[in-house]
Amino acid sequence: MAKDLPSRSEVKVEDTWKLEDMYPNKEAWEQDVAECVRIGNEIAKFEGKVCENAKTLKEVLDLDTKVDWMLTFAYDYAARLHDQDTADTEHTAMSAKIFMTYSQVGAQTSFIAPEIVDLDEEALEGFYKELPELEFYRKYIDEIRRLKAHRLSAELEKVIAMTSEMANTPSDARGMLDNADMVFPEITDANGEKSRITHGRYVRFLESADRRVRKEAFEGLYGEYKKYLNTYAALYNGQVKQQVFYAKVRKYNSTLEAAVDANNVSPKVYQILVDTVNKNLDKLHRYVKLRKKCLGLDELHMYDIYTPMIKDVAKTYTFEEAKDLVLKALAPLGEDYVAIVKKGFDERWIDVYENKGKRSGAYSAGAYGCHPYVLLNFSGSLDEVFTLAHEMGHAMHSYFSNEAQPYIYSDYTIFVAEVASTCNEMLLLDYMLKNTTDENMRFYLLNHYLDSFKGTIFRQTQFAEFEMLTNKMVEDGESLNADNLSSLYLDINKRYYGEDMISDPEIAYEWARIPHFYYNFYVYQYATSLSASVTIAQRILKEGAPMVEKYKNFLRGGCTLPPVDLLRQVDIDLETPVPIQDAFDVMSKVLDEMESMVK
């Protein structure tokens, strides 16, 4: 009989996140949503009057900041409820309601930025002198005015704001299809028992030492995606088209430029990453060749890419063991840092295990005014121990930023969002390497290190390149469909993995499985962040307290500086290839050691 997932009601309370820390009940949430509507109506009365005088400008910004915080907090609560069981219709309705409220209030407040943009510079400086309290908003106002060339009239900004709910449709529909509607087939696991493929179990199946299990899971998963490939293509085509629409309306040259400019990052950072990775594909080809040799295979297939390269070393971890490892590994960051992580473990910041309808994958979500929350689908692999360290890095970044900054300056950009998470992973890896005397375990951990480069720098840049090219196709007037998306993806996969890898036909459908393609040029930041984190972690371990304090100041920085400048505070300049190439140099040394260990 197949092993089915537990329903949400069957999960132990201690293994779930404590959402009561946000709202005691739905009624309290409803009251906040209603208050957001009231404030939105109040703000609407200021249309055409935002910059009449300094006092009015501050009053409007105070109200706008308050409603934005309340909307975000209410959204976070509904999103956590929805993600713990995507099939729960009440929580789906709550998510729909807050999206609708977001759209409504966004339309009501859309005139604020255009009116601030239109304000004369001399008049604005006069406002600061007249009302010193307005200085609090200077950086915020500067950021609004930075995008002046891409702001529209108040009337058009209102129209654009009204489209936000509609624009989420491709992503929302894909999420429901992927997490709630699709049912993957059963396979026979390594113990001879029937087990259904799920998002959470899939990678565990691919890590299996039993090649039959890996192959069946791979073919079973992508066989199911193939059935819905035209639907996925239509949804992704819709996603890219709306990105092109917004970029054109705001007078950007491309969707890429529009996406990175939102974070005050130059498109050249993106292009430098893609170019530098392509120049270093020989290292991924070396990795593939080493993996093929270690596994003793005549042909290496895509379903062989996750299983450990050394047998009889892989082990599973209980969640208690995972937490203990993470706490010990993060000790170089100081007692205060570790104490907060432990507080998160003890006070139920984390939703631990997979259940029916639960969103796949893992994430951390900061909730200003409350502690962060972490979603996992923990099943005990070494990768998932690293995922715990990764997501707690995100949580700690949010914690430090939220503690240090007022709401409007607390939300660090996605460009730096992956630095803290991958730094935690590097520290965990270093701890585990230093605390093993077993040569086979060392090889296993070095394998994991290489897998980090493969999965984060190479794989995420592969995604980034695919995203860049598909957006360019639509910008050039080409429509995306199942055939051209699959063909492009397969070609890129073959180039990245090289001649020693069999790029199975099924891997052409992998683009349909990746939710990050709906995040608007997000994934490249995983690669830039790992490159930065390798250097930061090494300096923390080498320099100790001075570097730790510099790093914590980075975590506290929020959005008080452009993200590239925030990283320059820890001596990382991603407007050059240097950090990325430095990471590849480290990868080469790891490859050298592993190749020398293979007889």
Confidence label for 63 from pLDDT (cuts 50, 70 and 90): very high
Structure tokens at 490: 């397969």
The yes-or-no verdict on residue 311 having pLDDT over 80 is no
Average pLDDT over residues 178-185: 92
What is the rounded distance in angstroms from the CA atom of residue 128 to the CA atom of residue 118? 16
Question: Domains plus CATH for the chain?
Answer: 9-167 (1.20.140.70)
Confidence label for 415 from pLDDT (cuts 50, 70 and 90): confident
What average pLDDT does the chain have? 94
The yes-or-no verdict on residue 32 having pLDDT over 50 is yes
The yes-or-no verdict on residue 527 having pLDDT over 80 is yes
Helices assigned H by DSSP within 262-310: 267-279, 281-295
Tell how strand 300-301 and strand 501-502 pair up: parallel
What is the rounded distance in angstroms from the CA atom of residue 377 to the CA atom of residue 112? 41
Confidence label for 151 from pLDDT (cuts 50, 70 and 90): confident
Longest dimension (CA), the chain: 77
What is the rounded distance in angstroms from the CA atom of residue 76 to the CA atom of residue 73? 5
**Predicted TM-score of the model (pTM):** 0.80
Q: Apex CA 359: angle with CA 383 and CA 9, to 5°?
A: 105
Q: How much of the chain, in percent, has pLDDT values that exceed 70?
A: 99
Residue 315, classified by CB atoms within 10 Å of its CB into exposed (0-12), middle (13-18) or buried (19+), is: exposed
Question: What pLDDT does residue 3 have?
Answer: 65
The yes-or-no verdict on residue 592 having pLDDT over 90 is yes
What is the rounded distance in angstroms from the CA atom of residue 2 to the CA atom of residue 481? 35
Tokens 């996605």, residue?
Answer: 414
pLDDT tens digits along 68-91: 999 999 999 999 999 999 999 999
DSSP state of 179: I
Catalytic residue among 115, 216, 391, 418: 391
Confidence label for 2 from pLDDT (cuts 50, 70 and 90): very low
Question: What pLDDT does residue 188 have?
Answer: 95
Tokens 């106002």, residue?
Answer: 141
C-alpha count within 13 angstroms, C-beta hemisphere, residue 263: 25
Question: What pLDDT does residue 493 have?
Answer: 98
The yes-or-no verdict on residue 1 having pLDDT over 60 is no
Instruction: Answer yes or no: 391 catalytic.
Output: yes
Where is 110: in which H helix or E strand?
Answer: none
3-state secondary structure of 533: helix
Average pLDDT over residues 191-217: 93
Question: Which has the higher per-residue pLDDT, 526 or 461?
Answer: 461
3-state secondary structure of 351: strand
Phi and psi at residue 342, in whole multiples of 5°? -65, -40
Residue 285, classified by CB atoms within 10 Å of its CB into exposed (0-12), middle (13-18) or buried (19+), is: middle
